[in-house]
Copies of this chain bind each other. A is one copy, B any other.
Amino acid sequence: MKRIKLIAFLLVCSVIAVAQEMQNGMPNVIKSVNSPQGKVCLAFSIQNGKPCYRVAYKDKDVVKKSFLGLELAKSKHASKGMGETDLMDGFVLADDKTTTFDETWKPVWGESAAIRNHYNELAVTLKQPKTNREMIVRFRVYDDGVGFRYEFPQQKELNYFIIKEEHTQFAMAGDHKAWWLPGDYDTQEQETQESKLSEIRSKFHDAVNWGNSSVAVFSETGVQTALQMKTNDGLYINLHEAACVNYPTMHLNLDDKYMVFESWLTPDATGMKGYMQTPCQSPWRTILVSDDAREMLSSNLILNLNEPCKIEDTSWIHPTKYIGVWWEMIAGKNSWNYTDEFPSVKLGETDYSKAKPNGKHGATTANVKKYIDFAAENGIDQVLVEGWNIGWEDWIGHSKDYVFDFVTPYPDFDIAYLNKYAHEKGVKLMMHHETSSSTQNYERHLEKAFNLMNKYGYDAVKTGYVGDIIPRGEYHFSQTLNNHYMHVIEEAAKHHIMVNAHEAVRPTGLCRTYPNMIGNESARGTEYEAFGGSKPDHTVILPFTRLQGGPMDYTPGILETQLNTWSDNPNIVHTTLVGQLALYVTMYSPLQMAADLPENYKKYYDAFQFIKDVPCDWSQSIYLEAEPADYITVARQDKNSNDWYIGGKCDENGHRSNIKLDFLLDGCIYDCTIYADTKNADYKTNPKAYKITHKRVKKGDILKLTMAPGGGFAISLKAVESINPAIKVQK
């Protein structure tokens, strides 16, 4: 077995082996490991005392020689002298270990009911004789990529240190095409840019979402992760991170002369990056690679690099479909705030009971009842209500510390009655905690806020982090804030509460460890369709980028794509109506909102049937076709039945799909409902032209489908007959 591996390694790593001869100076060491099937090869070496690595895929360079290391802060409290030597060079190899791991685990929810975690590992122990310190770099090599991290064992000469910067390089082999967002410490809500790496600098300024409530860019060649690239010779490469815990979020800064990315961490208010106490480790730096774009989407590498579930009893965690008092405010028809009477409010001082209502408050008892009724009639689990609690009159842009108390409803929101009313109809309300990024204030009220949720029977909360962070000077993606988000997740778990954080840090697979982290926004969501729109290819990029770290609460389902039909908002949604249905399958999430108004769903009630039907938990998922920014087609099997759902979504150019149903069960007949764009449908000119077709299909049948510009399709396949007695089907 070992011999076979070695041969495979020599085959794929010829590019790396050549490099060895070119070194001089200090004796160089090369240690390498390949992936289980030999597709991916990782080589580690120490060159003149500096650790570096390379990654190849099927004999092609993925990451060329790239240096590793951390620059430490010269803390005023650190002991003088060697205590402040960087962990960058002067290293010798003290030990190396190669191991194999193969395990299949079951997520609480996910795209598959079982996930295989199969890798070969190389752990190198580096000694810095000058300081008598040790650091381990651990590489895990999968057939679809590599993860590696720094580990700092507890040791006499390294107990505490402050990271000034992590200098992990990712040297690209060419001027790849990239789908990128401007690197920003505070927001991820930009439109994705598609360009050559060499073009990032010139396109950077216009790519920044300057109008966002928080913007903190740091370099004209700085980009966010997950960064999706495509090489000229057809390799797909994705750079991101996994298990970012007690560490700042990583961005990438490009040296666009040599096409070398380097890690650029999010600082705290003092400019420092990470405060470390051994034993500890960095997050995993991940490199996904394949010559098949579908493997970018089906990869579980990031989940696999996270720790197993830490929540013992997960019975209270459940995928959830919800509607909400939300889109009517986003579109500008109603308001979160109750009154327009005061120039500003102070909680505990402003007397809302005497305030004059503005007449367009969304979260009224009557309006929420309407949503509850609709949810109950249509099998929707929960109803989100935003704007239920006092403080929305001046919640944003004032650096206001005590902005919400998270427990006091507006006078026109009867919290006790509405929860009782909902529960009697088998529906739950979903809590909303907008923090206005005043995180210290949120933490002060967290326990009381969760107690209130428990009291009234809420089991899920949407949190929000709009605006600049308080403590002032901190950023959304700093170590401090990452610890805050984790604190909320952990405290919520104690209360059996699921959390869906908006504007928080982009996820890095932590939902494996904390499956009550049921959702995240952390990207440009559907709301932007009401603010001017996102490009039609937006949703066929996100699964390659933002969704690598975990599901997104994208809030799809805007069937009335022309907002001026019911509001003063002139914007349109940049998909067809059917394109909105497709997103429930193509954008995986265990939390799916049906974001449009009940009256709009009643208007397109036959199309809404798909939203009612589509599950949000799956036993398996098969990506049928994919190309970043062009199209994605995926088939998924319901976790609780033999039914399948297929979604296809494309960009502004339309797309044709031939779907061979070879994944269906042998001997089963399926009731197939196809929601398709009509021939002349177009997201701009004819968005709501759809056709619903019913037929019966079986394994091996082929479906030919056409997606309109900005369109898609959605298919439900319900197993209705079976000649195999072992297979039970719905009747």
Q: Give residues in A with beta carbon < 8 Å to B.
A: 75, 77, 154-156, 159-160, 162, 268-270, 272, 275, 277-278, 343-344, 346, 394, 397-401, 440, 443-444, 447, 468, 471-474, 480, 483, 487
A471 x B474 contact (CB < 8 A): yes
A398 x B473 contact (CB < 8 A): no
Report the minimum CB–CB distance from A267 to chain B (whole Å). Answer: 10
B77 x A399 contact (CB < 8 A): yes
A473 x B75 contact (CB < 8 A): no
Q: List B contacts of A473 (CB < 8 A).
A: 268-270, 473
Q: List B contacts of A346 (CB < 8 A).
A: 277
Q: List B contacts of A159 (CB < 8 A).
A: 343-344, 394, 398
Q: List B contacts of A268 (CB < 8 A).
A: 472-473
Report the minimum CB–CB distance from A276 to chain B (whole Å). Answer: 10
Q: List B contacts of A440 (CB < 8 A).
A: 440, 443, 471, 480
Nearest residue (CB) in B for A487 is: B444
Q: List B contacts of A77 (CB < 8 A).
A: 397-399, 468
A–B complex contacts, Cβ < 8 Å, 25 sampled: A75-B399, A77-B398, A77-B399, A154-B343, A155-B343, A160-B344, A160-B394, A160-B398, A268-B473, A269-B269, A269-B270, A269-B471, A269-B472, A270-B472, A275-B401, A277-B344, A277-B346, A277-B398, A440-B440, A440-B471, A440-B480, A443-B444, A447-B447, A471-B471, A472-B480
Report the minimum CB–CB distance from A278 to chain B (whole Å). Answer: 7
Q: List B contacts of A270 (CB < 8 A).
A: 269, 472-473
Report the minimum CB–CB distance from A59 to chain B (whole Å). Answer: 44
Choice from B154, B394, B399, B400 contacting A344 with Cβ under 8 Å: B154
Q: List B contacts of A278 (CB < 8 A).
A: 344
A400 x B472 contact (CB < 8 A): no
A-B residue pairs, 3 tightest by C-beta: A269-B269, A269-B473, A471-B471
- Other CB < 8 Å A-B pairs besides A272-B472, A278-B344, A440-B440, 5 of them? A155-B343, A159-B344, A269-B474, A471-B471, A472-B480
Nearest residue (CB) in B for A440 is: B440
Q: Bound state CA distance, A275 and B468, in angstroms?
A: 13
Q: List B contacts of A399 (CB < 8 A).
A: 75, 77, 160, 162, 275
Choice from B154, B401, B474, B480 contacting A483 with Cβ under 8 Å: B401
Q: List B contacts of A277 (CB < 8 A).
A: 344, 346, 398, 400
Report the minimum CB–CB distance from A70 to chain B (whole Å). Answer: 17
Q: Bound state CA distance, A440 and B154, in angstroms?
A: 26
Report the minimum CB–CB distance from A439 to chain B (whole Å). Answer: 9
Nearest residue (CB) in B for A345 is: B277
Report the minimum CB–CB distance from A384 to chain B (whole Å). Answer: 27
Q: List B contacts of A397 (CB < 8 A).
A: 77
Report the minimum CB–CB distance from A482 to chain B (whole Å). Answer: 12
Nearest residue (CB) in B for A342 is: B154
Nearest residue (CB) in B for A349 is: B279
Q: List B contacts of A468 (CB < 8 A).
A: 77
Q: Bound state CA distance, A90 and B128, in angstroms?
A: 64
Q: List B contacts of A483 (CB < 8 A).
A: 401
Q: List B contacts of A472 (CB < 8 A).
A: 268-270, 272, 275, 480
Report the minimum CB–CB distance from A579 to chain B (whole Å). Answer: 36
Report the minimum CB–CB distance from A149 to chain B (whole Å). Answer: 19
Nearest residue (CB) in B for A157 is: B343
Q: Bound state CA distance, A471 and B394, in angstroms?
A: 25
Q: Bound state CA distance, A162 and B278, in angstroms?
A: 40
Most B Cβ at <10 Å: residue of A77, A156, A160, A472: A472
Q: List B contacts of A401 (CB < 8 A).
A: 275, 483
Q: Bound state CA distance, A160 and B401, in angstroms?
A: 12
Q: Bound state CA distance, A156 and B480, in angstroms?
A: 36
A400 x B487 contact (CB < 8 A): no
Q: Bound state CA distance, A155 and B75, in angstroms?
A: 46
Most B Cβ at <10 Å: residue of A156, A444, A483: A444
Q: Bound state CA distance, A471 and B471, in angstroms?
A: 7
Q: Bound state CA distance, A27 and B468, in angstroms?
A: 44
Q: Bound state CA distance, A63 and B112, in angstroms?
A: 77
Nearest residue (CB) in B for A399 is: B275
Report the minimum CB–CB distance from A158 to chain B (whole Å). Answer: 9
Q: Bound state CA distance, A468 and B443, in angstroms?
A: 21
Nearest residue (CB) in B for A473 is: B269
Most B Cβ at <10 Å: residue of A154, A443, A473, A480: A473
Q: List B contacts of A394 (CB < 8 A).
A: 159-160
Q: Bound state CA distance, A160 and B344, in angstroms?
A: 8
Q: Bound state CA distance, A487 and B444, in angstroms?
A: 9
B474 x A400 contact (CB < 8 A): no
Q: Bound state CA distance, A398 and B468, in angstroms?
A: 27
Q: List B contacts of A343 (CB < 8 A).
A: 154-156, 159
Report the minimum CB–CB distance from A725 to chain B (whole Å). Answer: 53
Report the minimum CB–CB distance from A339 to chain B (whole Å). Answer: 15
Q: Bound state CA distance, A344 and B278, in angstroms?
A: 8
Report the minimum CB–CB distance from A435 to chain B (whole Å). Answer: 14
Q: Bound state CA distance, A344 and B366, in angstroms?
A: 57
Q: List B contacts of A443 (CB < 8 A).
A: 440, 443-444
Q: List B contacts of A487 (CB < 8 A).
A: 444
A400 x B471 contact (CB < 8 A): no
Report the minimum CB–CB distance from A594 to chain B (whole Å). Answer: 34
Q: List B contacts of A272 (CB < 8 A).
A: 472
Q: Bound state CA distance, A483 and B441, in angstroms?
A: 11
Q: Bound state CA distance, A440 and B277, in angstroms?
A: 18
Q: Bound state CA distance, A270 and B480, in angstroms?
A: 16
